[in-house]
Amino acid sequence: MFQFAVLKLTRTPRCAGHTAPRSLQAASGAKFRLRSERLRYHVASLALRAALDTDYEGCLSESSVVETCNEAPLLLRVLRCDPSVPRPPVWFMRQAGRYMSAFRMYSGRYAFRERAETPEIAVELSLQPWRAFGVDAVIMFADILTPLPPMGLDYQIVSGQGPSIKTPVRCMENVERVRPLTPEDTETALSFVGTTLSTLAHTLADARPRPALLGFLGAPFTLAAYGIEGEGGRASSGKQVKRMMYTAEGRELMHRLLQKITQSMIVFAAYQARKGAEAIQIFDSWAHLLSPEDYQEFSLFYVEELVRGIRAHGVETPLIFFANGSCGKLGVISAMYPADTREANGYRGLDALALDWRTSIAEARQLFGKRAVLQGNIDPTVLACGDTASVKAAIDRCVCAASGGAHILNVGHGIQPDTPEEMVALFCEHVRALPETDWYQQLRHRHLVENGVPG
Ligand code: 1CP
């Protein structure tokens, strides 16, 4: 079908992953400044251009400074809590989306599932934000509902409305019909996900700086909520879910469904890791519907099961947990990030916590210290409605508030469709320029000293 041709041409962003050798940093001490390096890049997707009749162009990325760039993606270094990273990595939740004109050329032409389930298209859509903005992570193009059809929950995405499940789960009979995913299902009905991931891994292998490749899945509660409600977005108030949670027989049904989904997501996560996902984000997008007590019973219990199951499969891939509506629930969430999680008993739990924009990242840092990498959490409306000064100020504030531990810059929920692309570009440029500012160097120096790195 489509073929991609990557050409080296001319654009010049800073070298995102550029870091100096340790000895050089030590020699130049706190005043060490990263020099932004020039990269030359451009990509032409010839077959796509022909197919879509557009003058499509993008990036990446052969660098003149490959030997001075740390080969590991910046985002993965942060997930491993490498304190010497020159700046926080940046990516955006829902970074492939309607706010990009290159994306709209596809969404106007192909239905959602065709886009997500045709690897050539999914690969292209996954790469667009990286080409355009030089983000530090590429997230595979799919949806949290992608694994549901082989489980017997067929869905479609209704334009302008969001997901719609053909037969919502409302009674025990419906629950019994839900079929937990097997490894064979992933290799057959979901093989397009594997092809998309392995193609992306292959395509990105030689990129310098190389972005991390992210997979993702829905948290059990969020997927169950979609399954029960049958639709997403504004159309759904969560009433059906609550009806189930607050009746004796509904409760049993709900837990049975959650178990099946948890088992399925363990299989799906292991599949993604096998196919090249270097980190996996778990989206608990509907957790804001739950009180802290219900959250424990209906969501966190299953997230813990999920993480334990993933690790029991021998999957060491870093896991990022997006807890939407985490404000007021940080205490219970923090139990999932024990201090000794990485070393003790060979058990490794969650690595990072992605915060929604209503939650104070400073409070989270105080509570978690260095136990969790924090991700987030700028209000996405700042990018949609704000001026350049507000966007830059929001980034600086967020970086300061998250200091004292590892941090990944991101928005506190998905990018909105009316976000100007220039603002996303400005956001990334500003993050890349952080090492050139004195205040950020001071912050970084303190961080290096605290972590025993000579600075
Ligand atoms: O036709 C379209 O393009 C519709 C818009 C769209 C897109 C671009 C949907 C429908 N899904 C997606 C892709 C998608 N969904 C990605 C792609 C990778 C990327 O981030 O760039 C990802 C990670 C998701 C994850 C997803 N889907 C979440 C979790 C993130 C979040 O926003 O909380 C959720 C809740 C969904 C459900 C969903 N799918 C689509 C929409 C419009 C929604 C949300 C509707 C709702 O509010 O319930």
pLDDT score recorded for residue 453: 84
Judge residue 84's burial from the number of C-beta atoms within 10 Å of its C-beta, 0-12 exposed, 13-18 middle, 19 or more buried.
middle
Element (H, E) at 320: strand 319-323
Q: Is the pLDDT of residue 296 over 70?
A: yes
Residue 1 has pLDDT above 80, yes or no: no
Contact 357, 376 (CB under 8 A): yes
The DSSP symbol for 300 reads: I
Residue 264 pLDDT exceeds 70:
yes
Taking only the tens place, the pLDDT of each residue in 181-197 is 999 999 999 999 999 99
Q: Report whether residue 143 contacts ligand 1, using a CB cutoff of 6 Å.
A: yes
DSSP lists the bridge partners of residue 217 as: 282
Select from 99, 107, 131, 143 the residue to mutate for testing ligand 1; criterion: most ligand atoms less than 8 Å from CB.
143
Contacts of 362 (CB under 8 A, 6+ apart): 401, 402
Tokens encoding 235: 């159309």
Element (H, E) at 40: strand 39-40
Angle at 235 between CA 231 and CA 240, to 5 degrees: 60
pLDDT of residue 414: 97
Ligand 1: residue of 90, 93, 94 to mutate (most ligand atoms within 8 A of CB) is: 94
The DSSP H or E segment spanning 23 is helix 22-28
Write down the pLDDT at residue 210: 98
Q: Poorest-confidence range of 140-154, 156-170, 342-356?
A: 342-356
Query: Rounded CA gap, 102 and 52, in Å?
Result: 10
Q: Which residues pair with 43 in a beta bridge?
A: 58
* Digit-coded pLDDT (tens) for 349-367: 999 999 999 999 999 999 9
Distance of alpha carbon 335 from alpha carbon 345, whole angstroms = 17
Give the predicted TM-score (pTM) of the model: 0.86
Q: What is the pLDDT of residue 4?
A: 33
61 has a pLDDT exceeding 60: no
Handedness of CA 96, 111, 194, 174 (dihedral sign): positive
In the chain the domains, ranked by start, together with CATH numbers, are 73-450 (3.20.20.210)
455 falls in which pLDDT band (50, 70, 90)?
Answer: low
Atom of ligand 1 nearest to the CA of 324: 33
For ligand 1, whether the C-beta of 112 sits within 6 Å is yes
Give distance in angstroms: CA of 295 to centre of ligand 1.
Answer: 22
Q: How confident is the model at residue 304 (pLDDT cuts 50, 70, 90)?
A: very high
Spatial contact of 42 and 85, defined as CB atoms under 8 Å apart: no
Answer whether 144 contacts ligand 1 (Cβ < 6 A). yes
| pLDDT of the residue at 174 | 96
Q: Determine which residue's CA is closest to atom 36 belonging to ligand 1.
A: 144
Tokens of 189: 């009905």
**Nearest-5° angle of CA 409, CA 196, CA 200?**
55
- Whether ligand 1 lies within 6 angstroms of the CB of 283 is answered as yes
**pLDDT tens for each residue of 426-437:** 999 999 999 999
pLDDT value of residue 154:
97
The token pair at 63 is 């660098």
39-40 and 62-63 as β-strands: parallel, antiparallel, unpaired?
Answer: antiparallel
pLDDT of residue 9: 29
For the beta sheet containing 373-378, the strands, ordered from the edge strand earlier in sequence to the opposite edge, are 137-139, 212-218, 279-284, 319-323, 352-355, 373-378, 407-411
Using the 8-state DSSP alphabet, how is residue 413 labeled? S
Q: Does residue 284 sit in helix, strand or coil?
A: strand
> Does the structure show a pLDDT above 80 at 26?
no
**56 close to 48: Cβ distance less than 8 angstroms:** yes
Q: d(Cα 10, Cα 29) in Å, to the nearest integer? A: 34
Q: Which pLDDT band holds residue 339 (cuts at 50, 70, 90)?
A: confident
Tally the C-alpha atoms within 13 A of residue 4's C-alpha that lie toward its C-beta.
22
pLDDT of res. 291:
93
Residue 48: per-residue pLDDT: 32
**H or E segment and range at residue 28:** helix 22-28
Counting residues of the chain whose pLDDT is more than 90, the rounded percentage is: 75
- CA angle 238–359–255, rounded 5-degree value: 35
* Predicted local distance difference test score (pLDDT) of residue 81: 87
- What's the rounded Cα separation, in Å, for the pair 208 and 217? 27
Ligand 1, residue 126: give the atom nearest the CA. Answer: 21
Task: Decide: 233 in ligand 1 pocket, CB within 6 A.
Answer: yes
pLDDT mean over 392-416: 97
**Probe residue for ligand 1, chosen from 144, 164, 375, 424 as the CB with the greatest number of ligand atoms within 8 Å:** 144
What does each C-alpha distance from 405 to 6, 40, 364 come to in angstroms?
A: 37, 33, 11
**Residue 340 — very low, low, confident or very high, per pLDDT cuts 50/70/90?**
low
Phi, psi of 122 (to 5 degrees): -60, -40
Q: What is the mean pLDDT of residues 140-169?
A: 95
CA 344 – ligand 1 centroid, Å: 36
- pLDDT for 116 beyond 50: yes
More confident residue, 32 or 362: 362
Residue located via tokens 């010497």: 84
pLDDT for residue 267:
98
- Measure the CA–CA gap between 342 and 55, rounded to whole angstroms: 48
Higher pLDDT, 29 or 267: 267
Pocket lining: 125 vs ligand 1, CB cutoff 6 Å: no
What is the C-alpha separation between 8 and 87, in angstroms, rounded? 26
Closest CA to ligand 1's atom 41: 162
User: How many Cα atoms occupy the beta-carbon half-sphere of 106 within 13 Å?
Assistant: 25
| Mean pLDDT across the chain | 84
Q: What is the pLDDT of residues 78-113, one digit of tens each?
A: 999 898 999 999 999 999 999 999 999 999 999 999
Token digits for 62? Answer: 């052969």
CA of 57 to the centre of ligand 1 (A): 25
pLDDT at 235: 64
The pLDDT of residue 55: 30
Would you state the structure tokens that stand for residue 100, as one six-digit string?
Answer: 């990009």
Is it the case that residue 45 has pLDDT exceeding 70?
no
- Dist CA 258 CA 275 (whole Å): 25
